[in-house]
Amino acid sequence: MKRKPTVIDVARRAGVSQPTVSRVLNNHPHIRESTRAKVLQAIQELQFTPDAVARSLVRSKSSTLGLIVGDLSNPFYAETAKCIIRSAHESDYEVIMLDTDYDDALFARCLRTLAAKRVDGIIVASVTRTDERVKELAAKGMPVVLYNRNLDDGSLPSVEADNYMGAYMAMRHLAALGHRKAAFIAGPFQFTTFYHRYRGFRAGMRDFGFDSRARLVYKGAYTYAEVLAFTRRLLERKDRPTAVFATTDQMAIAVLDAASRAGLRIPEDLSVIGYDNIDWADNPYIGLTTISAQKTAMAQLALQQLLRVIEAKDEAGDEKKNVVLEPQLVIRKTTGACPDSVKPGIPEPKIP
Amino acid sequence: MKRKPTVIDVARRAGVSQPTVSRVLNNHPHIRESTRAKVLQAIQELQFTPDAVARSLVRSKSSTLGLIVGDLSNPFYAETAKCIIRSAHESDYEVIMLDTDYDDALFARCLRTLAAKRVDGIIVASVTRTDERVKELAAKGMPVVLYNRNLDDGSLPSVEADNYMGAYMAMRHLAALGHRKAAFIAGPFQFTTFYHRYRGFRAGMRDFGFDSRARLVYKGAYTYAEVLAFTRRLLERKDRPTAVFATTDQMAIAVLDAASRAGLRIPEDLSVIGYDNIDWADNPYIGLTTISAQKTAMAQLALQQLLRVIEAKDEAGDEKKNVVLEPQLVIRKTTGACPDSVKPGIPEPKIP
């Protein structure tokens, strides 16, 4: 592209300083009419149009946001990212999208990149519970809002669903169907989602009298292949569980896959419950019982909160808000009565 | 954020012009040592770091690309976008992501937005066959590469799979299974994907002796709900087709849904073939027979081509390349022998 004239060219042509040009562009009141006329003439002669990059230098605003997710091919993130991108566009912000594949070094690099690009703010989904780098960036004045994930100290604004409660609700649902032997599948506990869902799972195990054996718990890399392999080994055991609680819908679908390969019927032989309520969970071929994390509300609230932080950032008393949404149990067809003789009975739900 | 010092502040402090500061920053050879020293001192005193936005003004390069897709919640676009974002990041480019929801006015606005943001180039998936605005933008010097979609006149660089051939292969597969009554489901024909898949479908109908009735063809809005509704009406007909060719996997899954609700068994009562080979097509609960559009290769080639165009854009003889990938038939479990008495027979494949 032919190099466009900049405010500097305009200043030189008009014989004024660059800040004077900026003041004219921004309709500053204290400008002599003769100066304004000279600048406007130079603008016309050079066919200068103040573009977004130039304006960002003048106003220190890029109208660009950053969005960091762990895996865009996980529908939970594709669906929430679409919502954020569309809503941001309607508010005249565009979104630079970054995907970390849950790699910690890449996450740090993504933060540096967005800071160097001078985005106006960042929405982060892929953050560990104790990450310091995101706090440092926020301390330097970069507006940051976390979504779906949070820091242990809650020091940054965040929007998430109550992970502890969601997991507890999943266990209560399984208990009500008579299950007492459930496996638990999660990704790394350095993420709040998996950590608090595990805590809710443990509380549910205890309150509803589940059999608690460590070997029924998987926490690790949450690739489809690894979850599939774990589940296949799990289902080959003599004392296999009658239910599996997978802490993402993507993992739950890998569990359904393993069950199908092992010749088990769902839910007659095995109940499976997921977490997230991605669009696919509702597909009649999958029909996954799951916990809804209110993804659309979460995405919209995260963006709204970021825009509020951006607009308020020069003011004192910038309030930090940790928004926690209520999860919801969505019963579909992958959970059913326990095949064992255990009589279904609902222990009095004890919600802490 | 506290306002960062700019090149203009450095110039003022050093008592030199802003272009001189730029020349020092860019290691320009013809700078007096005393001038360089003054500028470097001013840089140090002001704690100036040339950031990405400032450098983009100086070098006229933002290291930012635009990516416009029609629907990020369609896994085909989420999966290809992830691939583009990750590969771009490795080449030190970040990606501003835009989602048009297939809205034409929004598409035009997305182009204007990216131009104003001075991105270095744009990858476009959501373009109609005759769009003039994208050509105008390219004519003004903006590097543009199309992926999965193309213009009728092929005037811009593009990467796509052979849509005509893919559809023809789908029909040949159905014919080989004995089907002679197939329905066709597509989105609007102003997109090359649907248009050429329709042409391939027609050629397959003719060459393999299919029953050709217009009422078996759906072209329209490709929301899940509309495709579902059309298919339900279709399957209620006395003379219902024995096979459905849906031109995206997302549509194929809506067809499976409708068939399931109508109590039909797949593939015993109805064969269904999709297009795209999204990751979900391989899920054992879906197991969709489909045409692979080589999505990973397509995404990577589109990015490589854009980076080539960006780097070569000041040179004459910038070659326009229309890359066409070979589609592949992926047979899974949603297609099977025709339930009618028609004897399976494979007419000699006539590939134009």
First to last CA, chain A: 62
A111 found inside a domain: yes
Residue of A nearest to B120 (CA): A1
* pLDDT of B96 strictly over 70: yes
Best CA proximity match to B133, nearest among B109, B113, B108, B157: B108
In contact, B342 and B208? CB cutoff 8 Å: no
Q: What's the confidence (pLDDT) of residue B72?
A: 93
Distance to chain A for B110, nearest Cα, Å: 9
Percent of chain B's residues with pLDDT above 70: 88
**Secondary structure (3-state) at B9:** helix
Q: What pLDDT band is residue A212 in, cutting at 50, 70 and 90?
A: confident
Residue of B nearest to A81 (CA): B72
Mind listing the pLDDT tens digit for each residue in B176-187? 999 999 999 999
Best A6, A21, A74, A96 residue to mutate vs chain B (most B CBs within 10 Å): A96
* pLDDT of A348 strictly over 70: no
Average pLDDT over residues B231-252: 92
Q: Check which CATH number belongs to the domain holding A39 and give it.
A: 1.10.260.40
* Residue with tokens 């991105």, as numbered in its chain: B119
In contact, B280 and B274? CB cutoff 8 Å: no
Residue A129 shares a structural domain with residue A196: no
Average pLDDT over residues B189-218: 90
**Chain-chain contact of B94 with A95 (C-beta, under 8 angstroms):** no
Residue B192 shares a structural domain with residue B120: no
Q: Check which CATH number belongs to the domain holding A253 and give it.
A: 3.40.50.2300
Contact list, A117 vs chain B (CB under 8 Å) = 51-53, 63-64, 94
H/E run at residue B272: strand B271-276
A1 found inside a domain: no
Contact list, B113 vs chain A (CB under 8 Å) = 89, 94
Average pLDDT over residues B50-70: 70
B334 found inside a domain: no
Residue A261 shares a structural domain with residue A178: yes
Distance to chain B for A59, nearest Cα, Å: 10
Best CA proximity match to A272, nearest among B318, B241, B285: B285
**Chain-chain contact of B1 with A60 (C-beta, under 8 angstroms):** yes
B320 found inside a domain: yes
Domain, as residue range, for B73: 64-161+294-325
Average pLDDT over residues A341-345: 49
Contact list, A1 vs chain B (CB under 8 Å) = 60, 140-142, 313
Cβ neighbors of A342 (< 8 A, separation 6 or more) are A178, A179, A180
Other CB atoms within 10 Å distance of the CB of residue B12: 19
Contact list, B81 vs chain A (CB under 8 Å) = 72, 97
Contact list, A85 vs chain B (CB under 8 Å) = 72, 97-99
SS (H, E, C) chain A: CCCCCCHHHHHHHHCCCHHHHHHHHCCCCCCCHHHHHHHHHHHHHHCCCCCHHHHHHHHCCCCEEEEEECCCCCHHHHHHHHHHHHHHHHCCCEEEEEECCCCHHHHHHHHHHHHHCCCCEEEECCCCCCCCHHHHHHHCCCCEEEECCCCCCCCCCEEEECHHHHHHHHHHHHHHCCCCCEEEEECCCCCHHHHHHHHHHHHHHHHCCCCCCHHHEEECCCCHHHHHHHHHHHHHCCCCCCEEEECCHHHHHHHHHHHHHCCCCCCCCCEEEEEECCHHHHCCCCCCEEEECCHHHHHHHHHHHHHHHHHHCCCCCCCCCEEEECCEEECCCCCCCCCCCCCCCCCCCCCC
Q: Which of A53, A78, A284 sits opposite B78 (nearest CB)?
A: A78
Distance to chain B for A150, nearest Cα, Å: 23
Distance to chain B for A349, nearest Cα, Å: 34
* pLDDT of B345 strictly over 60: no
* pLDDT of B38 strictly over 80: yes
**Chain-chain contact of B1 with A142 (C-beta, under 8 angstroms):** yes
Residue A51 shares a structural domain with residue A69: no
**Chain-chain contact of B52 with A117 (C-beta, under 8 angstroms):** yes
Residue B217 shares a structural domain with residue B172: yes
In contact, B25 and B7? CB cutoff 8 Å: yes
Percent of chain B's residues with pLDDT above 90: 57
H/E run at residue B330: strand B328-330
* pLDDT of B56 strictly over 50: no
Q: Which of B113, B114, B142 sits opposite A1 (nearest CB)?
A: B142
Structure tokens that stand for B83 in this block? 């691939």
A347 found inside a domain: no
Q: What's the confidence (pLDDT) of residue A56?
A: 44
Q: What's the confidence (pLDDT) of residue B57?
A: 45
Report the range of poorest mean pLDDT among B77-91, B213-227, B272-286: B213-227
Residue A142 shares a structural domain with residue A262: no
Distance to chain A for B326, nearest Cα, Å: 24
Average pLDDT over residues A217-235: 85
Q: What pLDDT band is residue B228 in, cutting at 50, 70 and 90?
A: confident
**Chain-chain contact of B95 with A96 (C-beta, under 8 angstroms):** yes
Distance to chain A for B181, nearest Cα, Å: 25
A180 found inside a domain: yes
For chain B, the domain total comes to: 3
Distance to chain A for B174, nearest Cα, Å: 23
Residue A216 shares a structural domain with residue A204: yes
In contact, A135 and A146? CB cutoff 8 Å: no
Q: What's the confidence (pLDDT) of residue B58?
A: 46
- C-alpha–C-alpha distance, residues A349 and B176, integer Å: 58
Residue B51 shares a structural domain with residue B19: yes
In contact, A232 and A267? CB cutoff 8 Å: no
Output the average pLDDT for chain A. 86
* pLDDT of B197 strictly over 80: yes
| Prediction pTM value | 0.78
Q: Which of A81, A98, A260 sits opposite B94 (nearest CB)?
A: A98
Q: What is the DSSP letter of B244?
A: E
Output the average pLDDT for chain B. 86
Q: What's the confidence (pLDDT) of residue B307?
A: 93
Average pLDDT over residues A60-86: 91
Residue B287 shares a structural domain with residue B183: yes
A251 found inside a domain: yes
* Residue A211: strand pairing partners: none
Q: What's the confidence (pLDDT) of residue B198?
A: 95
Q: What pLDDT band is residue A46 in, cutting at 50, 70 and 90?
A: confident
Q: What's the confidence (pLDDT) of residue A35?
A: 85
* pLDDT of B316 strictly over 90: no
Mind listing the pLDDT tens digit for each residue in A230-272? 999 999 988 899 999 999 998 999 899 889 888 899 999 999 9
More confident residue, A313 or B172: B172
Q: Give how far the C-alpha of residue A8 lies from the chain's centroid of Cα atoms, to the nearest Å.
A: 41
Q: What's the confidence (pLDDT) of residue A45?
A: 80
Contact list, A4 vs chain B (CB under 8 Å) = 60
Best A79, A80, A87, A89 residue to mutate vs chain B (most B CBs within 10 Å): A89
Q: What pLDDT band is residue A52 in, cutting at 50, 70 and 90?
A: very low
A348 found inside a domain: no
Residue B258 shares a structural domain with residue B319: no
- C-alpha–C-alpha distance, residues A277 and A282, integer Å: 8
Q: What's the confidence (pLDDT) of residue A153?
A: 93
Q: Which of A3, A117, A257 sits opposite B60 (nearest CB)?
A: A3
Which range of A21-35, A302-316, B82-96 scores highest in mean pLDDT? It is: B82-96
